[in-house]
Protein backbone atom coordinates (compact mmCIF):
# COMPACT_ATOMS: atom_id res chain seq x y z
CA UNK A 1 0.00 0.00 0.00
CA UNK A 2 1.34 3.45 -0.92
CA UNK A 3 1.15 5.56 2.23
CA UNK A 4 2.11 8.74 0.43
CA UNK A 5 -1.50 9.14 -0.71
CA UNK A 6 -3.24 8.19 2.54
CA UNK A 7 -5.02 10.87 4.56
CA UNK A 8 -2.84 12.29 7.36
CA UNK A 9 0.06 9.91 6.60
CA UNK A 10 2.58 11.87 4.51
CA UNK A 11 1.45 14.57 2.13
CA UNK A 12 -0.64 17.45 3.44
CA UNK A 13 -1.84 18.74 0.09
CA UNK A 14 -1.44 17.73 -3.54
CA UNK A 15 -1.05 20.30 -6.29
CA UNK A 16 -1.71 19.73 -9.98
CA UNK A 17 0.21 22.46 -11.78
CA UNK A 18 0.79 23.41 -15.39
CA UNK A 19 2.26 26.66 -16.73
CA UNK A 20 -1.15 28.41 -16.55
CA UNK A 21 -3.21 27.01 -13.65
CA UNK A 22 -2.97 25.36 -10.23
CA UNK A 23 -5.42 22.93 -8.63
CA UNK A 24 -5.25 21.29 -5.20
CA UNK A 25 -6.70 18.44 -3.19
CA UNK A 26 -6.05 17.06 0.28
CA UNK A 27 -7.31 13.57 -0.48
CA UNK A 28 -6.34 11.35 -3.39
CA UNK A 29 -9.00 8.71 -3.92
CA UNK A 30 -8.58 7.29 -7.43
CA UNK A 31 -11.46 8.41 -9.68
CA UNK A 32 -13.20 10.16 -6.74
CA UNK A 33 -10.38 12.68 -6.27
CA UNK A 34 -11.77 16.22 -6.37
CA UNK A 35 -9.44 19.10 -7.20
CA UNK A 36 -10.23 22.70 -6.25
CA UNK A 37 -8.76 25.70 -8.06
CA UNK A 38 -5.80 27.40 -6.39
CA UNK A 39 -5.54 30.25 -8.88
CA UNK A 40 -5.16 34.00 -8.30
CA UNK A 41 -7.92 35.00 -10.70
CA UNK A 42 -7.57 36.99 -13.89
CA UNK A 43 -9.48 40.24 -14.52
CA UNK A 44 -12.32 39.16 -12.24
CA UNK A 45 -12.44 35.71 -13.82
CA UNK A 46 -10.80 32.35 -13.44
CA UNK A 47 -7.20 31.39 -14.08
CA UNK A 48 -4.09 33.47 -13.48
CA UNK A 49 -2.81 36.73 -14.93
CA UNK A 50 0.09 36.78 -17.35
CA UNK A 51 3.46 37.10 -15.65
CA UNK A 52 6.13 38.73 -17.78
CA UNK A 53 9.04 36.38 -18.43
CA UNK A 54 7.69 33.65 -16.11
CA UNK A 55 4.94 31.09 -15.72
CA UNK A 56 1.48 32.23 -14.67
CA UNK A 57 1.77 29.72 -11.82
CA UNK A 58 5.14 30.90 -10.49
CA UNK A 59 3.41 32.44 -7.44
CA UNK A 60 2.94 28.90 -6.11
CA UNK A 61 6.62 28.19 -5.53
CA UNK A 62 7.75 31.82 -5.16
CA UNK A 63 5.12 32.96 -2.63
CA UNK A 64 2.89 30.18 -1.31
CA UNK A 65 5.51 27.44 -0.87
CA UNK A 66 8.10 29.91 0.43
CA UNK A 67 9.17 28.75 3.91
CA UNK A 68 7.55 31.61 5.90
CA UNK A 69 4.29 31.33 3.98
CA UNK A 70 4.21 27.55 4.27
CA UNK A 71 4.85 27.67 8.02
CA UNK A 72 2.05 30.22 8.38
CA UNK A 73 -0.30 27.90 6.49
CA UNK A 74 0.71 24.87 8.55
CA UNK A 75 0.33 26.59 11.91
CA UNK A 76 -2.49 29.07 11.33
CA UNK A 77 -4.66 27.75 8.50
CA UNK A 78 -4.56 23.97 8.09
CA UNK A 79 -6.76 21.80 10.28
CA UNK A 80 -8.54 18.47 10.29
CA UNK A 81 -12.32 18.85 10.17
CA UNK A 82 -14.20 16.03 11.90
CA UNK A 83 -17.78 15.29 10.95
CA UNK A 84 -20.19 12.75 12.43
CA UNK A 85 -21.85 10.36 9.99
CA UNK A 86 -25.36 9.59 11.23
CA UNK A 87 -27.87 6.95 10.29
CA UNK A 88 -31.53 7.68 9.49
CA UNK A 89 -32.32 7.77 13.24
CA UNK A 90 -29.69 10.42 13.92
CA UNK A 91 -27.32 7.99 15.64
CA UNK A 92 -23.61 8.51 14.99
CA UNK A 93 -22.33 5.48 13.08
CA UNK A 94 -18.96 6.78 11.89
CA UNK A 95 -16.71 9.82 11.70
CA UNK A 96 -15.27 11.46 8.61
CA UNK A 97 -12.06 13.46 8.68
CA UNK A 98 -11.15 16.03 6.05
CA UNK A 99 -7.88 17.95 5.91
CA UNK A 100 -8.65 21.61 5.24
CA UNK A 101 -6.02 23.54 3.33
CA UNK A 102 -6.84 27.15 2.38
CA UNK A 103 -7.54 27.98 -1.22
CA UNK A 104 -5.61 30.88 -2.75
CA UNK A 105 -8.44 33.43 -2.49
CA UNK A 106 -8.97 32.60 1.20
CA UNK A 107 -5.29 32.84 2.04
CA UNK A 108 -4.95 36.09 0.11
CA UNK A 109 -8.02 37.75 1.62
CA UNK A 110 -7.14 36.87 5.22
CA UNK A 111 -3.52 37.94 4.83
CA UNK A 112 -4.35 41.21 3.06
CA UNK A 113 -6.93 42.26 5.66
CA UNK A 114 -4.64 41.34 8.54
CA UNK A 115 -1.76 43.29 6.96
CA UNK A 116 -3.96 46.35 6.42
CA UNK A 117 -5.19 46.25 10.02
CA UNK A 118 -1.58 46.04 11.24
CA UNK A 119 -0.72 49.07 9.12
CA UNK A 120 -3.85 51.22 9.68
CA UNK A 121 -5.22 50.01 13.02
CA UNK A 122 -8.79 49.16 13.95
CA UNK A 123 -11.84 51.04 12.74
CA UNK A 124 -11.89 50.45 8.99
CA UNK A 125 -14.52 48.47 7.12
CA UNK A 126 -13.63 45.62 4.79
CA UNK A 127 -15.59 43.67 2.21
CA UNK A 128 -14.33 40.28 1.09
CA UNK A 129 -16.62 38.67 -1.47
CA UNK A 130 -16.58 34.91 -2.04
CA UNK A 131 -18.90 32.93 -4.29
CA UNK A 132 -21.17 30.12 -3.09
CA UNK A 133 -19.23 27.11 -1.87
CA UNK A 134 -15.92 28.94 -1.78
CA UNK A 135 -15.24 28.62 1.95
CA UNK A 136 -16.58 31.86 3.41
CA UNK A 137 -17.04 30.30 6.86
CA UNK A 138 -13.40 29.18 6.98
CA UNK A 139 -12.19 32.58 5.75
CA UNK A 140 -14.20 34.35 8.47
CA UNK A 141 -12.93 31.92 11.11
CA UNK A 142 -9.28 32.28 10.10
CA UNK A 143 -9.53 36.07 9.99
CA UNK A 144 -11.34 36.26 13.35
CA UNK A 145 -8.69 34.14 15.06
CA UNK A 146 -5.87 36.17 13.54
CA UNK A 147 -7.44 39.52 14.50
CA UNK A 148 -8.13 38.31 18.05
CA UNK A 149 -4.42 37.53 18.45
CA UNK A 150 -3.12 40.64 16.65
CA UNK A 151 -0.79 42.94 18.61
CA UNK A 152 0.72 46.31 17.73
CA UNK A 153 4.37 47.36 17.85
CA UNK A 154 4.09 47.86 21.66
CA UNK A 155 2.75 44.30 22.08
CA UNK A 156 -0.71 45.62 22.96
CA UNK A 157 -3.75 43.74 21.70
CA UNK A 158 -5.30 45.66 18.79
CA UNK A 159 -8.82 44.42 19.60
CA UNK A 160 -10.56 43.88 22.93
CA UNK A 161 -12.92 41.46 21.20
CA UNK A 162 -13.84 40.16 17.78
CA UNK A 163 -17.55 39.67 17.16
CA UNK A 164 -18.84 37.73 14.18
CA UNK A 165 -22.46 38.13 13.14
CA UNK A 166 -23.53 35.37 10.79
CA UNK A 167 -26.56 33.60 9.42
CA UNK A 168 -24.76 30.24 9.68
CA UNK A 169 -25.95 27.58 12.09
CA UNK A 170 -22.51 26.02 12.40
CA UNK A 171 -19.51 28.26 12.88
CA UNK A 172 -16.11 27.24 14.27
| pLDDT score, position 1 | 47
Phi-psi region of 131 (alpha: psi -120 to 50; beta: other; left: phi over 0): beta
Where a domain ends, among 46, 69, 101?
A: 101
Q: Which of 26, 171, 3, 170 is nearest to 96 (CA)?
A: 26
**How many folded domains does the chain comprise?**
2
Phi and psi of 113, rounded to 5°? -65, -45
Same domain as 93, residue 17: yes
Residue 36 is part of which domain span?
Answer: 1-101
Confidence (pTM): 0.83
- Could you tell me whether strands 14-17 and 22-25 are parallel, antiparallel, or unpaired per DSSP bridges? antiparallel
Give the model's pLDDT for residue 49: 96
The domain boundary residue, chosen from 101, 116, 150: 101
pLDDT value of residue 13:
92
* Domain finish residue from 71, 101, 131: 101
Q: Which residue ranges of the chain lie beneath pLDDT 70?
A: 1-10, 132, 168-172
Amino acid sequence: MNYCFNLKKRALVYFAVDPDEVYMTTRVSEDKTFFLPFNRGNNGGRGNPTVYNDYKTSYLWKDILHKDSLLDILFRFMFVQEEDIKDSNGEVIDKRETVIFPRYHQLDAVRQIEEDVKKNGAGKSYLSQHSAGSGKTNSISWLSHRLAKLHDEHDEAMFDSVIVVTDRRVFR
